[in-house]
Structure 1
């Protein structure tokens, strides 16, 4: 069974920082400020941030931004990065054109 997430984060008022406009997730164009603000709004895991801001859902599937996001989250939550749960891996999905389905020969399926 998964450990419950400690949700008693001491939510101080969100204060902007000079580097908040820095792009952290290039694929989804998410800034450091957006990540910090989401944490202050209650997104306390990397998976929650992913669902809320789409970080790690672009073409790189989080390979370039996950470590940065984890470090930002650790700093905001005053926890060491190794104490934060990693992003839940998912297989990347590729869109398939409907034409491919339409051209399938149904007789080949048994």
Structure 2
């Protein structure tokens, strides 16, 4: 990623979902968070709506520039769903009754 054309006051956003800037990523790397998983946990990069589809390549490139490691060494983040799984039994239980009560009934 090139910073050409960016003034000193400009904030280059790397992760739009979590509002993380390039400077924040670099600062975290300098503090010792030098793996993609550590950056994910520390800055929440890749944990927003896009699940890293937008920012992961940018963060990987910054890690490569700052650590000298190649992309194979850096790797990728572990994909985890953003919500807990729902069992089929819970789905089969149905929803509120037509009368608007709190009871659940199966069809």
TM-score by length of 2: 0.68
The Cα shift of 1:93 comes to 1.6
Question: Counterpart of 2:34 in 1: which secondary structure?
Answer: coil
Segments of 5+ residues of structure 1 without an aligned counterpart are: 1-17, 95-99
SS of the residue corresponding to residue 37 of structure 1 reads: helix
Structure 1 residues 41 and 59 mapped into 2: Cα distance closer, same or farther (>3 Å)? Answer: same
Flag the 1:43–1:93 CA change in 2: closer, same or farther, 3 A: same
Q: How many residues in Structure 1 have an aligned counterpart in Structure 2? A: 85
The secondary structure found in structure 2 opposite 1:90 is coil
CA distance in 1, matches of 2:57, 2:9: 17
**Aligned partners of 1:20 and 1:42: how far apart in 2?**
25
Alignment equivalent of 2:13, drawn from 23, 27, 38: 23
Q: Distance in 1 between matches of 2:48 and 2:23?
A: 19
Structure 1 consecutive aligned stretches of length 4 or more whose deviation exceeds 6 Å: none
Q: Structure 2, unaligned stretches of length 5 or more?
A: 1-7, 85-94
CA 1:71–1:103: 2 relative to 1, 3 Å? farther
1:86 paired residue number: 76
The aligned counterpart of 1:44 is 34
Cα root mean square deviation, aligned: 2.6
